[in-house]
Structure 1
């Protein structure tokens, strides 16, 4: 995977950039505290867990003694991360030496203790099967998430090729396109736009989520509430149904947008409506490196500049169209496991642009 200049920061980079007062508001939720703990480097987790049930501060010199000499770099990275997230509060003792010391953020410490000792219950529990009936399988849910994400990307780069409409307003789509498309009557992908298309799926997703959060105040939504809700989603179970009536109006509106991105699937029964988190939602705060949602395909490039693409992804074909032009398109029908099914497989002979 090529190196790109677009920095796809993870959730914790955005959390660390919040003002101190808003960070303390986030840390009032025990589940958020656990999500933050999960994201920390291993050595930082060690420091937090060892200091979790101790009162008072600990000197920087004593902390350094907890690691081997060859771990000094990891030690500095861990301390910097803890200070950025205001998990550690730093102070300098008066006196000649003016030695630094650290202590855990009291709000974070109290709520993480609560989460570890008593567990805690999410604001909502999964709905019983008697109310929802048959829910999508994990395989169906993963396929849905990928289709939704690819449809969104098609809207982003070429709305005329997208098969479904999106609930995002034109102004919000322009926010997403900012920096990816040139600002002209005939928008074209910029260098950053091409780099964006070459990123892994989860890194692309985080770039969009980051823009979505950054512009939340313009929509009258507090970014702290939005980050808190997204982190809270990571504790829900993939494939389980959760009642929409347990959400606020802002959260329901957010879920409608997240459904467009493939993070959740919305369904409606006779009396109730519910949402089903996909793996994209439950993994968002943990890891952005999982590329398992990529559709498989093959591209062959010949020395005469002809390119052959074999893929079931319309998005992949549209991306390739940005670099070249179509010469041939073939449609295949396959006979699989005794059942005749038609698959729109693309075998494309592409000539270079002149």
Structure 2
């Protein structure tokens, strides 16, 4: 998501950190392993090739490792390795950061004495839970947040910490009419992402709040990377955790990333939302649970509605007709609520909802900050397999009309500008107007009233010109 520089990628966040922060992060083997897994394939290959090479290598020698077609990817990988402080360049020589080399080697070989991968509890849990329970808990907690964002009340209201994060991240904002939180343009973009991207987007906002919460940023990152390397179904002790990390547990419970039977429990269970943080796999397939309609017969097949270990291709479930009718083969309350943001739903069946896209329904979505492109993107990404057989996938008449409805609200666009008026001499006005037109900053002028409007960017230039002309006239 690019709106308002809203980051959903942990790499984008890491590259903004100073060198000192990386030196602290690299002291944990689990963090080194997690950062390594975030690298592109050629970047991982470079790290593994240089891991046991303690002498510097020239950039020219490195270029011989790839063919001509791979030079661009090599350049991009080296740039990422440099920004993540893994490789340091001195003139034309590259050397691996020694702290990263040592701790990453420990992560691969099991060396070192630090328990950066967590400390499994030595005693059995009297109230042990299985993976199925953890999956259900994670889905329930995470979907409670998504349901609240789209305005459904099927689940309990999220905690105050979650609501604060939703507002601070601008995923939701206070409505001007009823003082309740409502979804924003950025929030709708958030809903369009896969669950793993959503979780990281949420956690990156949490990282931005770390200083406000008086939490050590390095300890927060180390704990998140530790969770990403933990084993699903294993219970870990809270004893090795720092005070900051123990404080994080309460928040991560609200997000469904970890499970604790009660506050103050001496053990915790990472859920699949945690263990997939650095794997790149989708964590929750059930968040977009849909029912795939068969071409023949009246039966329907339900897609996976739970946490799954394998990355699955999401099945499309939306049919859009040229008469603006929408048929969605889904029984997911979350997906129905998302559709209700821009579709006027008219009927609901066991495995399907039907409605119509109207000027009013699109207008209501636009008022919430949802754009026409986002609506079109959602319909296209969730299109039924039968619709995907056509080119274009969506009816152009409907697509064009949605954009036209958006343009109706954008007839006027406000932009900051400066008004120049009350010129004493017509020649002074004409000269200033001519100067503004020549440099391309004139928005409007009325020579009879000796008034004109200048863009904000051109104000300093025109103001300086007018002053110089007035001074020149006074010196004559």
TM-score range, shorter chain: 0.7 to 0.9
Measure, in 2, the Cα distance between the counterparts of 1:263 and 1:321: 28
Aligned residue number for residue 165 of structure 2 = 172
Matched, 1:285 2:278: yes
Q: Of the candidates 116, 130, 135, which is equivalent to residue 129 of structure 2? A: 135
State the Cα distance separating 1:232 from its structure 2 match. Answer: 0.8
User: Partners in 2 of 1:180 and 1:249 — Cα distance?
Assistant: 30
Structure 1: distance between partners of 2:269 and 2:214: 26
Residue 318 in structure 1 maps to residue 337 in structure 2 = yes
The farther-off stretch of 61-70 and 8-17 is 8-17
> C-alpha displacement at 1:181, in angstroms?
4.4
CA RMSD of aligned residues (A): 2.9
> Is 1:107 the counterpart of 2:126 in the alignment?
no
Query: Larger deviation: 3-12 or 51-60?
Result: 3-12
Answer with 23-32 or 320-329: which moved more: 320-329
SS in 2 for 1:327: strand
The separation in 2 between residues aligned to 1:200 and 1:313, in whole angstroms, is 16
- Where do residues 247-262 of structure 1 align in structure 2 (5 Å cutoff)? 247-262=241-256
Matches within 5 A, 1:296-311: 296-297=290-291, 298-311=317-330
CA contact (8 A) 2:347 2:353 kept: yes
User: Does the C-alpha gap of structure 1 residues 168 and 56 become closer, same or farther in structure 2, counting only changes over 3 Å?
Assistant: farther
For residue 284 of structure 1, give the secondary structure of its aligned residue in structure 2: coil
On the 8 A contact 1:4/1:195 being kept in 2, the answer is no
**Aligned CA distance change for structure 1 residues 164 and 274 (closer, same or farther; 3 Å):** farther
SS at match of 2:341: helix
Matched, 1:13 2:12: yes
After superposition, the Cα gap between the structure-2 partners of 1:10 and 1:26, relative to the gap in structure 1 and judged at 3 Å, is: same
1:32 aligns to what SS in structure 2?
A: helix
Deviation at 1:180, TM superposition (A): 5.1
Cα 1:114–1:179 change in 2 (3 A) is closer
Q: State how far apart, in whole Å, the 1-side matches of 2:2 and 2:278 are.
A: 21
CA distance in 1 between partners of 2:2 and 2:14 (Å): 23
Q: Which residue of 1 aligns with 2:70?
A: 71
Highest CA radius of gyration, 1 or 2?
2
Change (3 A) 1:228 1:185: farther
- How far apart, CA to CA, are the structure 2 residues paired with 1:272 and 1:259? 12
1:273 and 1:310 mapped to 2: Cα distance?
44
Q: Which residue of 1 aligns with 2:139?
A: 146
Q: 1:162 offset after TM fit, Å? A: 5.1
Q: Partner residue of 1:243?
A: 237
Q: Which moved more, 1:190-199 or 1:15-24?
A: 190-199
* TM-score relative to the length of structure 2: 0.62
Distance 1:188 1:19 in 2: 36
Is contact 1:258-1:264 (8 Å) kept? Answer: yes
Measure the CA separation in 2 of the matches of 1:7 and 1:184.
Answer: 23
Equivalent-residue separation in structure 2 for 1:350 and 1:128 (angstroms):
56
**Quick one: higher RCO (CA 8 Å, sep 6+), 1 or 2?**
1
Q: CA distance change for structure 1 residues 224 and 54 in 2, over 3 Å: closer, same or farther? A: same
- For 2:245 and 2:15, locate their aligned partners in 1 and report how far apart those are by CA, in whole Å: 23
Structure 1 pair 118/184, CA: closer, same or farther in 2 (3 Å)? same
Deviations 1:72-108 (A, max 9, x none): 011101110110001111111xxxxxxx111111211
Rounded to whole Å, the distance in 1 between the matches of 2:249 and 2:331 is: 28
Q: 1:227 matched to which residue of 2?
A: 221
CA contact (8 A) 2:57 2:95 kept: yes
Q: 1:32, 1:228 within 8 Å by CA — same for their partners in 2?
A: yes
2:355 matched residue in structure 1 = 350
**Structure 1 stretches of at least 4 aligned residues deviating more than 6 Å after TM superposition:** none
